[in-house]
Amino acid sequence: MSSIAITDLTVPRDIDSVSRPVVALSATSVANDWENAKHQHRKAQLIYSLRGILNCEIEDGVWIVPPQCAIWIPGDLPHAARGAGETECYCLFVEPDAAPDLPKTCCTISVSPLLRELLVKVAGFPELYAPGGREDRLIATLLDELAAAPVEDLHLPMPRDPRLRNLVEMMLADPSDKTAKADWAIRIGMSERSMSRLLLHEIGMSFGRWRRQLHVILALQRLTKGESVQTVALELGYENASGFVTMFRKAVGKPPARYLSDRLGGAELASVPGIMLPDNVSP
């Protein structure tokens, strides 16, 4: 393991050359924004966000990593990552055959307190730790916890068809646009039925569900940067905060305050404008 703290998250490193099945790095950035251009490596990667919001893009999707969540990126998969505002994260690099039952596809996972503490602990190990010792046993426990971690539905799938890509680009450019599905289809030169069928075939989602997922991802990015629920609701085209909260709950199973309280401490959550703390969360 490595205990190196990386202050510039865009600096490349040849992780694959490290002759250990698992490598961990801690990374901190106090810049407003950072971006790691598209790259790939043999080792799979886990990026755990302790503070700040992270995004990871691959060819057919975008994943969001809110605080206390992590993204798993399989080995040899081209990807780009970026962070907004102050970020603090841990990166775990794992050889493909290091453990069974690890995720086979890109996904966002929830990090339990035990998994979080294991990540912090192993990030302090020497990079070339001695095989067969205490470090190995803790790493094996970490990989067991990682394999059992629940998956979060924070994925925005991206279609490959050029017409659907055009649709996505227009919706990303103006997420508050309330244009009806039939009119969107006309804009990209398709019938409504053909567009719906192709969306289901390429991304496995209906138009309405995809748009809700887009709004959830954009909302989490903005809420964790300090914007109020009211502001986010209006910027996404909702008439009021109530309609936005209803959409958010339908998409992820919890309202924004509850979702964020599960990931942020009470004091940090209380600093987010417009977020009402649940009764059992102390500021």
Residue 281 lies in a domain: no
pLDDT at 244: 95
Please check the confidence at residue 75 and state whether its pLDDT lies above 80: yes
Which range among 83-87, 258-262, 273-277 shows the weakest confidence by mean pLDDT?
273-277
| Residue 193 sits in the same domain as residue 265 | yes
| Residue 223 sits in the same domain as residue 248 | yes
Task: State the DSSP H helix or E strand holding residue 45, giving kind and residue range, or none if neither.
Answer: strand 44-58
Q: How far is residue 93's CA from residue 140's CA, in Å, rounded to a whole number?
A: 14
| Residue 137 sits in the same domain as residue 178 | no
Range of the domain at 241: 159-270
Please check the confidence at residue 269 and state whether its pLDDT lies above 60: no
**pLDDT tens profile 154-169:** 788 888 899 998 998 8
What's the CATH number where 239 sits? 1.10.10.60
Please check the confidence at residue 263 and state whether its pLDDT lies above 80: no
Read off the pLDDT band of 14 (50, 70, 90): confident
| Residue 17 sits in the same domain as residue 129 | yes
- What is the share, in percent, of the chain residues with pLDDT greater than 90? 37
| Residue 23 sits in the same domain as residue 132 | yes
Please check the confidence at residue 277 and state whether its pLDDT lies above 60: no
Residue 276 lies in a domain: no
Task: State the DSSP H helix or E strand holding residue 134, giving kind and residue range, or none if neither.
Answer: helix 134-148
3-state secondary structure of 46: strand
From the CB of residue 127, how many other CB atoms can be counted at a distance below 10 Å? 14
Q: How far is residue 242's CA from residue 122's CA, in Å, rounded to a whole number?
A: 43
Closest by CA position to 235, among listed 176, 149, 185, 183: 176
Read off the pLDDT band of 274 (50, 70, 90): very low
The number of folded domains in the chain is 2
Domain end call among 152, 180, 211: 152
| Residue 18 sits in the same domain as residue 139 | yes
Average pLDDT, the chain: 82
Domain end call among 104, 124, 152: 152
Side-chain-facing half-sphere of 122: CA atoms under 13 Å: 30
Q: How far is residue 229's CA from residue 141's CA, in Å, rounded to a whole number?
A: 39
Residue 279 lies in a domain: no
Domain end call among 137, 152, 167: 152
| Residue 88 sits in the same domain as residue 164 | no
| Residue 147 sits in the same domain as residue 9 | yes
Q: How far is residue 146's CA from residue 44's CA, in Å, rounded to a whole number?
A: 12
Side-chain-facing half-sphere of 171: CA atoms under 13 Å: 26
Task: State the DSSP H helix or E strand holding residue 93, giving kind and residue range, or none if neither.
Answer: strand 79-94
What's the CATH number where 85 sits? 2.60.120.280
